[in-house]
Structures are given as structure tokens and as C-alpha cells.
Amino acid sequence: MTREQKDNLFVLIKSLSKSEKRQFKLYVGRLGVNEDSKFLMLFNILDKLTVYDEAVILKKGIVKKQQLSNLKAHLYKQILISLRLNPSHQDIRIQIREQLDFATILYHKGLYKQSLKILDKAKNLAISNEEKNAAYEIVELEKVIESQYITRSLNNRADQLSIEAKELSRQNVLASKLSNLSLQLYGQFLKTGYVKNKAETTRITEYFNARLPKFDIHELGFREKLWLYKARLWYSFLTQDFLACYKYSKKWVELFYQNKDMILLNPVFFLRGNHYLLESLYYLRQYDKFKFALSRFEAIIQEKWFPLDDNIDGLSFLFIYNNKFNLHFIEGSFDEGLPLVDEVLERLKKYKDRIDEHHIMVFYYKIASMYFGAGDNRKCIYYLEKIISNKSLQMREDLLCFSRILNLVAHYEAGLDYNLDVLIRSTYKFLIKMEDLYEVQKEFIKFLRGLGDIYPHEVRNEFIKLHRKLKEYENDPYQSRAFLYLDIISWLESKIENKPIGIIIRNKFNEMKENS
């Protein structure tokens, strides 16, 4: 899979909106820089290019090759300064940082009283918005100033600052431990996916308990609760406790609804919380709750007050469309879901610099699954090949594993069995490299390897035998995860009953709706 060369400066310029480009040129004008300035000329050249090409830049003659790196670095810095001045980027964190910078300048000029006044306002702003790291930094500067300038406004000023620093430090340490634990568990999930056996469950549980700090839930603020729910969520995902996933993702989301101002300050965490809530409901097959949560999520994002920038726009697309796919998978409405494919592919072009490769591959797997469910096996194979041929993808063994298994099934369904033996061998070699091979995978590979020796009139009986074996694993806590990625049982039933897999899954969905 060829990879397009990316240049950080070029990617930054291409991410700018028309208003941001206009503001940059106004900012350059305020600097008193004329239109012949080299960095402004470089900006205009890069703005017109469709792909980064250093040869084109050098051909313009504005700079020598040896000087280009320095000129690019200067332009990059000037663009960031311009963006920082843009009102649309002036969030609470930047405002607090700006006030801290102002106070530091006043302190260095010896204007202690003015500096302390600004710091007090900035500290209150930081604490009220759960920016406790910034608040701690402010208190530390207050301590430095108070040690040189006695305000006499409060007799116990020194004690008060010491108590504030100690409490903020305690809260920051707790938040740091919880955020570290959350990040470590998330990293483990990306690398290996769900636990595969009891030994792995024990290891993850011991790892989690050893690193979970002691706390009183009633003393936790918004930030500490958020990191706690995140850590518990990832532990629950790893151990496949989807009810606990639902519990903690719901707590995560409701935490934001109870503190609406925090949605404005932390929109990315709000988006992620909703995504994990929907993912939990998808795994639990809670259709009505899933549909309600998705509808509510979309409605909030479209509210005028909801913050919007390039990052939020990209993440909103990622999470909304992933779950739109999942909605069709629950319903078995594969044909109805096909229009999503073109929408997603078009938007992936738009967001290619903002969405990481792993999530792009997840989209390809969902697209392949949609085509498989709709009976278009050749298109299914086309998108699976994008995953299988991606040699740089180093995460989510489960995604790579089931891409190969679905690829085998799609080849069989499409009648492309002339090289099925080669595919089976290469898939088996890949699976054997994994630490543990699931019984579901073993049985399925064994079945496919034996297909060549089975007479056509005996195939249906072999499907029935395999179906009977795999049904034993359907409720096994470690084996059942295979069915989250590929509904092999429904595929077998489609072969046994001689019906399209979409109809089988839709019939199961209708039956579930009637019984709920």
C-alpha cells in the first residue's frame, strides 16, 4: 500500500479555512512585512499546490535548498501565532495561559500587585473549569511573588497558599494516576484486543487493581471522575464485561450532561464517551437504547452552541458513521446501508490528515462487512485487501485476524476457489503467529481445509456439523468475541437454509424485537 509523502507545514496550510488564511495575511501585514517576504511567498506557493513537492518550491527561486528548512520552520511558527490570535481558537485554556503569561511579564517588571490581581482571577477561572494543573502553576507563581512582596491583605496568606497548593497537588496526582491507568489499558486494548483466556483476565485484573489509586468517590471532582470512568471502561472492554462497559460509559456521558459547561471545554471527551456508550449497546444488542443514544448524540452535535473545529468535525464523522454502520448490522439492513459507503469514502478523503490509519482500516472492515451482508462478495474482498496488504498496520490483531477469515469466506461465496488452498495456508500461518488461536478459528479453518475433499451433496451436512460445534462457543466468555467481528453462525445458517445472510440476520433482529 503506497503512502503519500506528508509534510507538516503543507498539512497545516491545507487544514486552514478561508477565514484563517485571510487572517494570516492580515497578521503578516500588521507585522509590516511586504508582499515580497520570503515566508509569505512560500505560504502562497504551498497554498496552491495539491500535493507537497519540494522541487516545485525550489524552482520558484525564492530560497536555496539549504535555507528551505529554516524558512519552513519560520512560516510554521508564524501560522501558529496567527491561529492563536484567532477568536475561534480562544478557548478557556488559552485564556488562562494568556493571563498567566501577562502576570509573569508584570512580575518581571516588578509590578507585583498587578501580577497578583491577574493571577487571582486566572486561578478562579482555572478551578471553576477543572483546569487544576494550570491552577497549581498559578498558585506556585503566587507563592514566588508573595515571598518577595508582602500584601498584608490577609494575615494567613502564606498558610492559605500552602493549603491550596497541597490540595491541588493531591488532586493532580490522583488525576494523573487515573489518566495513566486509562491510557495504559487503552494501549493494551489497541495492541491485543480483548482477553483470550482466564490467565489473561487474571493478569489484566491484577494489573488494574495494582495501579488503581485509593480515593473517596464523594471527594472527586469532574476531572477525577472522568478519568476514573475511563479507566474502568477500558478494563471492562478488555475483560469483555460489556454490561460494565455500558455502566461506565453511561456514567461518563451523564457526567457531561450534568456539567454542560464541560461539553464546551472538553468536546472531544464528550464525543468519545458517547461513542463508547454506543459501542457497548451494540455489543449488548440493546437496539432501542442504541437507536435512542445515537439519535441523541447526533442532535447534540448539530446544536448551534456545540463547539466546532477541524478536530471535532473529524471525530464527529468518525463516531457517528461507525455507529450508523453498526445500526445496520444490528438490523440486518445491509442493502439499505450501502449508500453510507460512498458518503464515508468521500469524507475519508476530506479527513485523511486527521484520522489515523487504524480507524481508516476499521471503516474498510465495516464497508467489507456491509458488502458481504448485501451479497456483493467481490467488493467485500476489495476492501479487505486494503487491510490485509497494509504491512504498516501494527495494532489490533483481532481486526487483522478476522479480515483474513472474512476474506476466506467471501472468496468461497464468490466462487473464487481456484486459489482457496493458498489463502487458507497463508491465513493459517498468520493465525498461528498469534499467541492463542481461538477454538472458533481452529474449527473454521479445519472446515475450510476439508472442503476440497467433500462431495457437493455432502456440503450441507458439513455446514450443519460446523454450526453445531460453533453454537457451543456462542456463550463462552472467551470464544464468543469471534462472533462480534464476523457472524459465522448466521452465515452457516444461511448456507443450511439456502437464504441470503442478510435475511437470516434480519429475521433474528425481528425475533429479538418481538421478544423484547
Give the three-class secondary structure for 466.
Answer: helix
The cell numbers describing 321, all together, are 458513521
DSSP single-letter state for residue 475: T
> Which segments of the chain have a pLDDT < 70?
1-5, 32-36, 87-90, 149-155, 393-396, 417, 434-437, 451-452, 456, 481-482, 484-485, 516
Return the C-alpha torsion angle 403, 405, 411, 417, nearest 10.
140
- The one-letter amino acid code at 512 reads M
Kindly report the backbone phi and psi dihedral angles of residue 302, in degrees, each rounded to the nearest multiple of 5, phi listed first: -85, -5
CA distance 164 to 446: 65
- In angstroms, rounded to a whole number, what is the distance separating the alpha carbons of residues 184 and 238? 12
319 Cβ contact partners less than 8 Å away, ≥ 6 residues apart: 271, 272, 274, 275, 278, 297
- Classified as helix, coil or strand, 4 is coil
Name the nearest CA neighbour of 234 among 220, 248, 215, 221. 248
- In angstroms, the Cα distances linking 369 to 33, 51, 363, 486 are 55, 32, 10, 8
Task: Return the half-sphere exposure (C-beta side, CA atoms, 13 A cut-off) of residue 423.
Answer: 21
Sign of the CA dihedral with 229 first, then 230, 235, and 237 last = positive
User: How many CB atoms within 10 Å of residue 16?
Assistant: 18
CB 211 within 8 A of CB 162: no
Q: Which residue has the cell 507563581?
A: 141
Rg for the chain, CA atoms, rounded? 28
Answer yes or no: are the C-beta atoms of 469 and 492 closer than 8 Å.
no
Query: Which pLDDT score is estimated for 3?
Result: 45
DSSP per residue, 172-218: HHHHHHHHHHHHHHHHHHHHH-S--SHHHHHHHHHHHHHH-----GG
Burial status of residue 43 (CB atoms within 10 A of its CB: 0-12, 13-18, 19 or more): buried
- 171/175 Cα distance (integer angstroms): 6
Q: Which residue has the cell 454502520?
A: 325
How far lies 41's CA from each of 1, 20, 194, 407, 507, in Å?
34, 17, 52, 50, 63
- The whole-number pLDDT of residue 233 equals 95
| Whole-angstrom distance, CA of residue 220 vs CA of residue 284 | 30
Pick from 221, 138, 214, 216: which is nearest to 177 by CA? 214
Helices and strands (H and E) in the chain: how many: 27, 0
- Helix, strand or coil, per DSSP, at residue 311: helix
Measured distance CA(330)–CA(349) in Å, rounded: 27
**CB 359: neighbour CB atoms within 10 A?**
17
Alpha-carbon torsion, ordered 91, 92, 94, 95, to 10 deg: 110
- Between the alpha carbon of residue 409 and those of residues 299, 380, 456, 474, 503, the distances in Å are 38, 10, 17, 19, 18
- Rounded to whole angstroms, the Cα distance separating 265 from 211 reads 28
Where are the chain's structural domains?
A: 8-89, 92-153, 394-516
Cβ-contact 241, 205 below 8 angstroms? no
pLDDT at position 272: 95
Cα–Cα dist 269/265, whole Å: 9
